Structure 1
Amino acid sequence: MSKKLSFFQSTIVRTVFVCFLLTIVPITFLCSACLDWGAGLLQDEVTHSYYSSTKIVSDSLSDNLITLQTAATAYLLDDECITLSGISASKPNLYFFAKFNSRVKQQFLSSFLDADMICVFPAQSLAVSTKNGVEHLSSYPLLTDLENLGDKHPVWAFRPSYRDPNERCLSIVIGYVHATQTRPIIILEIDEKALSAQLSNLLSKNSGVQASFFQDYQGAWTSFDPDGYLIQPSINGLLEHIEDVPSFYSTESKGTHLRIVPVKMEDIRCVLGLAFDEQSVLAPVIFMRHALIGILVTGSLFTVAYLLRGYRKVYIPTQTLVSSMERLALGDLSVRVEQKQKGEFQILAEHFNSTAQKLETLVKEKYQADVKMKNAQMSFLRSQINPHFLYNSLFNLYNMIKSQDLDNAADMAVYLGQFYRIGAHLDKQELTLGQEVENIIPYLKIHQIRMGGSLDFNCDIQAGLEGFEIPCLSLQSLVENAITHAFTKTGKNAYLNIQAVREGDFVLLSVEDNGSGIDSDTREDILRRLQNSDDDGVFHGLQNVYARLRLLHGEQVSISIEPVPSGGTRVCLRIPDKKWE
């Protein structure tokens, strides 16, 4: 594990950052896509709504123009009109022309559009106008040469006014025209201002509309455009690009995004349309998009701020804990974590410090226990390698050889060799019961020879306990203790009964003798010394055995010293079947 993790290698930092990427970014893109889709739908819906409104107005305007054209055409076949066209040009009766004008004027003044119908009588050089009355053709400069009219203007179109060429109007010429024309000709003129008034209705009925326009088949156009948004390039060529289906397009003028909604008027080959501000119509969507961008930027800033706060509140305490754990793993049990901020990290720091303290205490206790165990073992081994026992055994061996008791001498030599072979096991802390018994039997055989056969013994190990491990020479210490103290004041044959049996989860090791027994005071004194071993690690006899067993198995180990009713003493060790960990 590395000594120090970099900031972006931290699992916490990566988790927070990835969560941000997996939540904010997809949501932002999804919302942006939905807004784009919604903006497109809203644009289409608003455009079609404007198209429908414009279509209604265009149909009404087209019907009115056709109605005017039809009504004017009817006068070409009117009996009164035909009669007037046949009056002598030298002496025309202006009364009849005035009467005819009054009749026509009454009809056209009631029309929806403020149109001027001019009935031209070429033979009489007169023109009857619903607005200007009966006038000589000299008042209409553009009608002096009828040949120029011809069939060039068969439909509604923007032209100079026939009476005032400086004024432009929407007009149409009805009738057969040639240079020698004698039959009447009908001309309808609609003033451009009157047409603009009709176009203004589109603005008043539709919010967001910036301008409306009318274009003839030649591309000439007029508009109602208070703010001057419409420019020539935006309208030119519009008629040629309009299909039978609705066709819309966008343009920019004066920093405003305009949406052009034209409607083709098939009956009169003209176009009526309007232009609205897309930004004002799509303002809610644009606002939402800007708000979304603001949320994304704000979320990013908050994420960075949260990461910086996490670096101080989470990453640094985590790093402190990780580095402390690494030091603890390397064996530095004195390491502690100082955590001032409250919360989970304070709890973790307290538990870590508590664990480190317990580990340090356990290691010290284990070290002290090992030292005591080593001291006890060395003390025991020093007591076992007793030179007096060896000297006495060799002196007895010498006397037996001198007295020619060669058989016993040979046996003693063999038993001595077997007994001191225990030196091969002195480096082991534990031996099995089977190995312990193998060491005890030569020892007892030597004492049998030395005591002249007055010692007898029985060794009974319950089946299955041969592999049970006990501290080295523990059972032998019980045997030596019995031989040393039990038979000093008795003259009868000595007997030892050595047993190892299982009792539940414990194993009982007992040595029973038929010696002089033990009084209660001596027994209490021995038990007191066993429970209060010297702190300096100096042990003797039973105290040594009991101390080593307690170090291995804890307080589950117990020892009992009881007098035998028939005489003698029984010492029993109660050991758990498994070591305490």
Structure 2
Amino acid sequence: MWFQKRRFTIFPKLLLGFLIAILPVYMLGIYLNKQVASSLRDQILQSMQTNVKFYLSSLTNEIVNIENFKRSLLVDEDLMALSTVAPALTENELREAILRLERKVALLQDSSSYIASATLYIPMIDKQIKSGSYIEGVSIKELETIRFKMQQQLSPLVWHGDKLLMGSYYPESVIKNRAPVFLIEIEINQRMIMDDLSSMSDQGGAYLYFKQEGRVITNHGLPNTSDEIERLLSRQSGGEVESVIFENQGKKYLVSLRQSSGYDFSLGIYTPEDVIMRDFDKYNALFWILFALSIIVMALFSYWIFKAIRNPVRNLLKAFRKVEQGQLAVRVSQRSNDEFSDLSEQFNKMVSKLQSLIQEVYEQQIRSQQSELRQLQSQINPHFLYNSFFILHQLIEFEDLDNARKFVHYLGNYFQFITRDAKSELSLGQEMKHAEAYLNIQMMRFGSRINVSLEPIPSRWEELLVPRLIVQPIIENAYQHGLESRISDGHLRITNELRDNFLCIYFEDNGTALTEDELMRLKFKLQDASELETTGVVNVHRRLQIKFGLSAGLYVFRSELGGLGVAMKIPIKIEEE
């Protein structure tokens, strides 16, 4: 049935329809999420670029200010006097000059928070002058080492051990292996730089990279990121800010880099992407939760609609199946006051009308069948009566009184059966007894020309009610159209078997007159039996179907004996077994 062949029910259609309707909204939501994430990422990068520019500019200005202060100290009269003509000074002049230089060094040190300490090395007086004090003794070798690094370094910032220094010496063209007249050493406060780097990127990290020395000052580094950041910083050459995103061990980082103009260092700050996107990820997770909840709600709503539609439809389909099986008393009740209620009401009206029409047609068929049966009896009697009296005349003429007596007995039983006013149905055993009476008459008529074999019906099926006169017309047809023309060796075989809940009775002859075209025409007549056909095997076939349904009836085939084969199928009900 069509209902059983369904592949795509209402529920998935409803769910798919809702999904198709809401999918553009969620696609737009996903697109907006991506746009917001991209915009947020761009804003963070822009903020990082601004921080890089600002801090690099501030650091450069501090270095320039320190450079300017240092240059003013280079031409100081007291420094020049102590470093060149100190022996010519009196002890008092020497002491006063040193005190003034101590104050000037203190001013230099206090001029910038980036200066950790400032020292004047004056070999001539063998003193190191600091802020507010001085130290006796100057290491010429140490002085020469510092001067050499300052001379080799292009930048004013040089590394000496772990110290980051700025300085100058006089004169600038010093003879090799000879100490300068004086040297100014300014140690940069690396802790101050680290604090500034920390304030720039509190969620990530920052690097100040010195390209020539390959040294780095950083506030703190995340694991496994230092090498990548230093590699990016080492590539910086221009003064523009570069922003990149790199991935390390499955984690993404946003980085902004810039090379200082005129100085040999670069600044880079970075922030883990998951840190800055943390709040956005929360909203994004809420979006997907909302999406999942909406899918669940749509599924539940679709299922509710499906149930509201399926139950009435299922009730109607069950009712249709019962009608298909012939149960016309079925009715559909619908409690809801909707379109399904109207449909159920119309279905009930249709079934009632159909039941009424079928009852009328059935009664008409019964009346027609009874009329056909009486007509068939009247058609058989005159023809058979003529043949019977002719045979009786011959028996009497030849004075074969015993056979004549038997023949009259068979003939009397035969006409008693077909002429008595009986019901249209009788037991199969009675029908077979009438067929035996007819066979006895025909065997006396044809004698040894036709051999007849009849297998008795099992006793368990003898009480089965069947339409009247269904066996004798088939036997009569075999004699008239198959065996009557045979001079000798005619054979009629009647057998039975139980197959697939059907009692099958087979009638086979070895007549030679049946052609394939005639067999096909007979099959067609049985398949398209019209109500105008009232005689012969077609009449029997139609009456069997009226009694037992379309699965019953007659089926013709080519017999193994060579002539016509007729199979009579009668359904066996379980209660009759």
Taking structure 1 as the reference length, the TM-score comes to: 0.53
- Cα deviation 1:165-221 (Å, max 9, x = unaligned): 5xx333223342643244433322112222223334325xxxx63333322233322
* AA at the equivalent of 1:199: L
Equivalence map 1:38-187=2 (5 Å): 38-88=36-86, 93-130=94-131, 133-138=133-138, 142-143=142-143, 145=145, 148-149=148-149, 151-157=151-157, 159-160=159-160, 168-175=162-169, 176=172, 178=174, 179-187=177-185
How far 1:289 sits from its partner (Å)?
Answer: 2.3
Cα distance change, pair 362–272 in 1 and its aligned pair in 2 (3 A): same
8 Å Cα contact 1:117/1:188 also seen in 2: yes
* AA at the equivalent of 1:103: K
1:249 aligns with 2:244: yes
Equivalence map 1:464-503=2 (5 Å): none
8 Å Cα contact 1:87/1:124 also seen in 2: no
Q: Point out the more displaced range, 92-101 or 137-146.
A: 137-146
8 Å Cα contact 1:47/1:261 also seen in 2: yes
The RMSD of aligned alpha carbons is 4.1
Equivalence map 1:394-409=2 (5 Å): none
Aligned equivalent of 1:236? 230
How far 1:41 sits from its partner (Å)?
Answer: 1.4
Cα distance change, pair 239–89 in 1 and its aligned pair in 2 (3 A): farther
How far 1:316 sits from its partner (Å)?
Answer: 4.4
Cα distance change, pair 331–43 in 1 and its aligned pair in 2 (3 A): same
How far 1:102 sits from its partner (Å)?
Answer: 1.0
Task: State the alpha-carbon separation in 2 of the partners of residues 306 and 140 from structure 1.
Answer: 91
Task: State the alpha-carbon separation in 1 of the partners of residues 141 and 225 from structure 2.
Answer: 31
Task: State the alpha-carbon separation in 1 of the partners of residues 57 and 84 from structure 2.
Answer: 39
Secondary structure, counterpart of 1:248 in structure 2? strand
Secondary structure, counterpart of 2:275 in structure 1? helix
How far 1:71 sits from its partner (Å)?
Answer: 1.7
1:271 aligns with 2:266: yes
Greater relative CO (CA pairs within 8 A, separation 6+): 1
Task: State the alpha-carbon separation in 2 of the partners of residues 333 and 89 from structure 1.
Answer: 140
Q: Give the percent of matched residue pairs that are identical in Structure 1 and Structure 2.
A: 16
Cα distance change, pair 23–283 in 1 and its aligned pair in 2 (3 A): farther
Cα distance change, pair 224–141 in 1 and its aligned pair in 2 (3 A): farther
Task: State the alpha-carbon separation in 2 of the partners of residues 314 and 290 from structure 1.
Answer: 36
The structure having more radius of gyration, on CA atoms, is 1
How far 1:30 sits from its partner (Å)?
Answer: 3.1
How far 1:59 sits from its partner (Å)?
Answer: 1.0
How far 1:340 sits from its partner (Å)?
Answer: 5.8
- Cα deviation 1:309-366 (Å, max 9, x = unaligned): 4554433432443454576689864443345677554453344324433554566679
- Cα deviation 1:414-470 (Å, max 9, x = unaligned): xxxxxxxxxxxxxxxxxxxxxxxxxxxxxxxxxxxxxxxxxxxxxxxxxxxxxxxxx
Aligned equivalent of 2:294? 299
* AA at the equivalent of 1:9: F
Aligned pairs, number: 362
* AA at the equivalent of 2:62: N
Task: State the alpha-carbon separation in 1 of the partners of residues 105 and 198 from structure 2.
Answer: 28
8 Å Cα contact 1:4/1:319 also seen in 2: no
Cα distance change, pair 49–115 in 1 and its aligned pair in 2 (3 A): same
Equivalence map 1:475-554=2 (5 Å): none
How far 1:52 sits from its partner (Å)?
Answer: 1.0
**Structure 2 residues not aligned, in runs of 5+:** 369-577
* AA at the equivalent of 1:285: F
Task: State the alpha-carbon separation in 1 of the partners of residues 352 and 156 from structure 2.
Answer: 105
Cα distance change, pair 125–341 in 1 and its aligned pair in 2 (3 A): farther
Of 266, 284, 289 in structure 1, the residue corresponding to residue 284 of structure 2 is 289
Cα distance change, pair 141–361 in 1 and its aligned pair in 2 (3 A): farther
Of 312, 316, 321 in structure 2, the residue corresponding to residue 321 of structure 1 is 316
Aligned equivalent of 1:352? 347
Secondary structure, counterpart of 1:149 in structure 2? helix
Aligned equivalent of 1:21? 19
